[in-house]
Chain A
Amino acid sequence: MKIAVCIKQVPDSWAEKKMLGGVLDRASVDAVLNDLDEYAVEEALRIVEASSPTKEAGEGSGHTITLISMGPERATEAIRKALSMGADEAIHISDEALAGSDALATSLVLSKVIADGGFDLVLCGTESTDARMSVIPAMLAQRLGWAQLTFAGSVKVDPGDSKVSIARSTEFGIENMEASFPALISVIEKINEPRYPSFKGIMAAKKKTITTKLLSDIGLSGDLVGNKAAWSTVKDALPRPARTTGVKVEDGGNGGGELVDFLLEKRVI
């Protein structure tokens, strides 16, 4: 099997973020591997381990895991982390023209790389913790014309039959879904516990290949991406006034009763 995992470097979700000229100021904050993508990397490793006699990804297993990431030069840090978990190689699309790309442009670029790669399965996290739109997996499936198996709480792959089934977790319950290869999968965070990179994994990752590509290398024009080509625009971004701190009372024995009196007085219950 050829498996790809889409990953993104994002500002650390603990960091304070601000807008700069209508887009997120990424330069001023620490950047990390989107933690929701770690579940996708882990699941790809488990799929390979479950269907390979050597129980390890990489050479000899007959399966490869390729990371695909779009982002500035420093995104290689996040890519190295995912490589150190056990992925085999990476494709990094890095081009100045990509800065400020919207979800439509991002999905266009990723779908081009995926279509050229001949993959059987592509895994994603459900969303990135910065933009939080949660639309890229669905957009990729639409662009590629692939089966969409998203919000998977479990994934079962049958490489012999080229079939994959998932339990899609929705607000209303579980939908069990299946499709033939190729399929686009997104995984939710309760699907697994991502492994910590081992020392051996970190050392091995340094030798793994990261292929850096420009837009011209994947046959896309710079006019289709970036802030200028975005199909939505931010008019203004204003800090909201801080919430005014309200009443704070010590529970003197009737704290519950006083709370109910407050809620009744404010007519919220």
Chain B
Amino acid sequence: MTDTAQRLAEIRGGVPPRRHNARTIAALTGNPGCTRRAVLDSAGVDKPKLAERVGFPARFGQSRFAITRGNAFEAQVKADGGAELLRLVAERLGVPVPDGATWTDLGGDEDRPERSRAALTAPGDGPALFDHPLLGLDVAGRRVHLEPDLVAARLAGRFHVVEVKSFPVIDGQADPAKVAAAAIQSAVYVLALRDLLAADGQDPDLVSHEVVLVCPRDFANRPVASLLDVRKQLLVLRRQLDRMARIDDLLAAVPAGFTAQLTADPATLAGALTGVPANYAPDCLAACELAYFCRHEARGHTGALGRPVREALGGVAEVAEVLALAEGVRAPEPEQAEAAALLRAAARLRADALTGHPA
């Protein structure tokens, strides 16, 4: 075990690392500037349990209605050996619909990584669909296995990642937030699939950067396929994974002896977490299990109100400082002169208008 791995194990507190999936890897791209998150995720700490332990449980429940609907739609799309799926994907890609394709379900077996590797790198370029492949990705020096609910479609000699999602596309439009989440998740799979081919000495560009998203159309259950270009997401992902690979640099900023061991006393745990710098933004609430803890800690900071607010306040970090500068009771640092002048003018105008001076 390397020093880094040893250190990450200590942070975890000796328990096995929590497993990543495409969703958690995709979530890593959300707030790249956050050391706390990068360290905890690299160590594979169980963040939901940690958040609960320090008194700020996350709220990422999933309704069983949504799960049921998702499963039903996926089963429907994949029925009949993927015949309907093949037609949808081929038509969307603009290639002739093949008479048939081989359907390989790589799920449910013992020896999945090896079977997946063998199946996906086997010679041949006939139309083929691979369901439930097991893919691997290196995250912070550890091999992470992904078990995507996806189909890798090989058509006209190229692989396309096919994602089946149950949110609707209504008159050609879908919820932008859901599409964005699907795009970044798909990018994780594209990356893993490319790594797999590259490791086998094949051209990684055989995996297309265009992924096929299959969703229900309008208000009914008929599937419709759309293309998503995930080149941008691939870049973001690659950058974040590289950053996590340099975890040593990040660990240098972490106090020695820092541990997120879940059995520790909650107050000790919270104190230890405070020693690792976070970069809380309101967007974290939708992506990170520890967000409520970080929000509580960031109270009184302008960043907790959102980046646009902080920028409009001249980048001054603390609310108390903003108000002191605005009231002129505090002399600005040289680099704050401009912000302070703006804040004083704003405070004067605001007071003016609120006390009913004519405007």
Asked whether A and B interact, the reply is: no
